[in-house]
Amino acid sequence: MQDYADLTRRLADLVVGYGANVQPGQVVAVTTYPGKEALTREVARAAYEHGARWVDALVFDTRVKRERLLHADESTLDYVPPWMVDRLEWLSDEHAARVTLTGPADPEALAGVDPARAGRDVLPYLPNTGDVVNRATTHWCVAPAPTPGWAPLVYPDLDAEEAYDRLWETIAHACRLDEPDPPRRGARGRRSSRASRRPSPSGDSTRSGSTAPAPTSPSASSPRPPGTRQTSPRSTGCATSRTSRARRCSRRPTRSAPTAT
């Protein structure tokens, strides 16, 4: 297994500086899970280097959630502690940056749990998440965090170490960490994509020979479908991993807890 300290650092720099667009004096909230400690700490480091006033890391343990689902009274499974809802409202009021590290670190954590019971507890997703996103009051970014537990789900035919190495390779490519300047490279790709959709004089769309990545944020999409809402510049919601290869990775079925944004 290779040493991924440098890639972890570069991924954190990309997530904080470009994905979440952290600004000086901003509060930064990180939703993370056991098994993602290295990237979580690098995200905190990068956020403070960008001038964050406070980094608030919320670690959600899916094994603790498992015990609740197995043993708690069923009538309590949809209970959400008010402080969790209030925290998200506070982040909205503070115009915070929010980072969620996704990808299952412990995909078997909820194995054998009754689906009917599991469906009642959607934490760490919160009932006011959609409202906060729609207000466009926070910068937000959902970013992949490679873990040994995730790797076999994506590459089941490889041994554990090779699968983990391949997962890192795939995510590094999807996030353009194999480029000298990932944000600039992504911006050039979006400009190329928009240019390729411009109509030619004959009325046909011209197409470039290269494949451009999807927009990194909702506000980068062009044109906007009729009746949809333009995202405020204050909100820079994005998923860092954007190529079709990465989407195939993320769509593998798992038993992990829902992702919070």
Say whether pLDDT at 185 is over 50.
yes
| Residue-range domain boundaries for the chain | 5-198+211-250
Say whether pLDDT at 232 is over 50.
no
Percent of the chain scored above 90 by pLDDT? 67
Spatial neighbors of 81 by CB under 8 A, at least 6 apart, are none
Say whether pLDDT at 213 is over 80.
no
Mean pLDDT of all residues in the chain?
80
Quote the pLDDT of residue 247.
Answer: 40
Quote the pLDDT of residue 181.
Answer: 78
Task: Residue 250: count other Cβ atoms within 10 Å of its Cβ.
Answer: 18
63 pLDDT band, cuts 50/70/90, is very high
What are the b/e assignments for 11-28, b being 16+ CB within 10 Å?
A: bbbbbbbbbbbbeeebbb
Section 191-208 average pLDDT: 43
- Reported pTM: 0.73
Quote the pLDDT of residue 184.
Answer: 63
Assigned CATH for 5-198+211-250:
3.40.1830.10
Does 201 or 152 have the greater pLDDT score? 152
DSSP assignment of 100-132 = EEES-SSTTTTTT--HHHHTT--TTS-TTHHHH
Answer for the pair 69, 117: CB distance below 8 angstroms, yes or no: yes
Quote the pLDDT of residue 121.
Answer: 97
DSSP assignment of 149-191 = TTHHHH-TTS-HHHHHHHHHHHHHHHTTTTSSSHHHHHHHHHH
Quote the pLDDT of residue 258.
Answer: 61
Section 94-100 average pLDDT: 98
Quote the pLDDT of residue 179.
Answer: 84
Q: Which of 27-31, 50-54, 72-76, 221-225 has the lowest mean pLDDT?
A: 221-225
